[in-house]
């Protein structure tokens, strides 16, 4: 059982962090250590700000990872991702920065992220990053986001 006093978000009233840097992510112990399995978070309404114009940017983010000793707690992840609403950064910086923070703090066996950004100036920008090859025997399904055709 997880001690709720050790968690910052789950079981507590939580305000949206002022910035991604201010967000605290919680990493409980992996409930199935020794078993390689895939965890997927799908964020179809991710938002950030354009660092040049200040206008909102929208993306469909998909995070896949194979846990190591810990997992990321979903409410703390939701608050971290929500903190990008007032964060000005290019699509590439947001997408890769999210993944690199998770890798640095959680130390998963494997992680990949797909940032499927809606068009600005008529061009959708999709950003992909992963730590390497997925562990053998782990089922890694397609991320399920179509090449841009209205992002339906």
Number of neighbours of residue 85 by Cβ within 10 angstroms: 12
Instruction: State how far the Cα of 122 lies from the Cα of 148, in Å rounded to an integer.
Output: 11
Half-sphere exposure of 104 (CA within 13 A, CB side): 7
Known catalytic residues are: 50, 57
E strand segments, the chain: 39-49, 56-66, 110-117, 126-130
Among residues 94, 93, 75, which one has the least CA distance to residue 84? 94
Which are the contacts of 34, defined by CB distance < 8 A and separation ≥ 6? none
């Amino acid at each position: 059982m997880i001690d709720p006093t050790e968690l910052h978000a789950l079981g507590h009233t939580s305000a949206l962090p002022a910035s991604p840097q201010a967000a605290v992510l919680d990493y409980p112990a992996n409930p199935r250590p020794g078993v390689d399995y895939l965890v997927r978070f799908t964020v179809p309404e991710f938002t950030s700000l354009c660092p040049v114009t200040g206008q909102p940017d929208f993306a469909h983010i998909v995070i896949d990872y194979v846990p190591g000793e810990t997992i990321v707690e979903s409410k703390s992840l939701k608050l971290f991702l929500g903190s990008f609403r007032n964060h000005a950064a290019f699509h590439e910086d947001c997408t890769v920065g999210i993944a690199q923070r998770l890798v640095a703090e959680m130390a998963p066996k494997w992680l990949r992220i797909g940032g499927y950004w809606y068009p600005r100036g008529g061009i959708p920008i999709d950003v992909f990053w992963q730590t390497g090859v997925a562990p053998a025997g782990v089922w890694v399904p397609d991320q399920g986001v179509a090449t841009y055709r209205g992002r339906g």
